Amino acid sequence: MSFESNVKLMIALSNPDLDAEEQERETRNLLREIRDLDVESAELVAVVETPKGSKAFGGFLLSVLQAEVSLANFKKLLGYLGDRLGNKTIELEVEANGKKLKVKASSQKELAAAIEQAQKFVAGN
């Protein structure tokens, strides 16, 4: 499988009702679940890659993880995220074919629209 056929995702969760420890626990649970799917890689984002305005906790960005998935399994991962994160505020950054798309959603409806947009982006439409 060539590098170009993989899609990179950065997923940032946002829940102001949780403290840093609870957010980290929620992010690590999501990471474990994503790793159980058929992904090339999934990991927390190290502080050295900190986007401006992000918070760090224990050497990793708080509530941010990244995954790399084959094009064939991209839709499956997005479907999982839609089911799992439908009512949470998330930012999703998708990188494919040398281009990036960044979307934000804070409801099931917005997430469904963001997932559809990401799928079209990766498909080149």
CATH code (residue 44): 3.30.70.120
For residues 87 and 93, give the distance between their C-alpha atoms in angstroms, rounded to a whole number. Answer: 18
Bridge-based pairing of strands 60-70 and 41-46 is antiparallel
Question: How long, in residues, is the chain?
Answer: 125
Q: Which of 35-44, 48-57, 63-72 has the lowest mean pLDDT?
A: 48-57
pLDDT level of residue 47 (50, 70, 90 thresholds): low
Domain that residue 77 falls in: 3-123
How far the first Cα of the chain sits from its last, in Å, is: 23
Please write the tens of the pLDDT for every residue from 56-97.
555 677 788 999 999 888 888 988 888 888 778 889 999 988
At 120, give phi and psi (nearest 5°): -65, -40
- The total domain count for the chain is 1
Judge whether residue 49 has pLDDT over 70. Answer: no
Q: Is 16 exposed, middle or buried (0-12, 13-18, 19+ CB in 10 A)?
A: exposed
Q: Which of 1-15, 31-45, 47-61, 91-105 has the lowest mean pLDDT?
A: 47-61
What pLDDT score was predicted for residue 3?
Answer: 42
Report the percentage of the chain scoring pLDDT > 70.
Answer: 85
What pLDDT score was predicted for residue 125?
Answer: 64
Judge whether residue 111 has pLDDT over 60. Answer: yes
Go through 17-46 and write b for each residue having 16 or more CB atoms within 10 A of its CB, e for each that does not: ebeeeebbeebeebbeebeeeebeebebbe
Q: At 118, list the tokens.
A: 């990401």
Judge whether residue 18 has pLDDT over 90. Answer: no
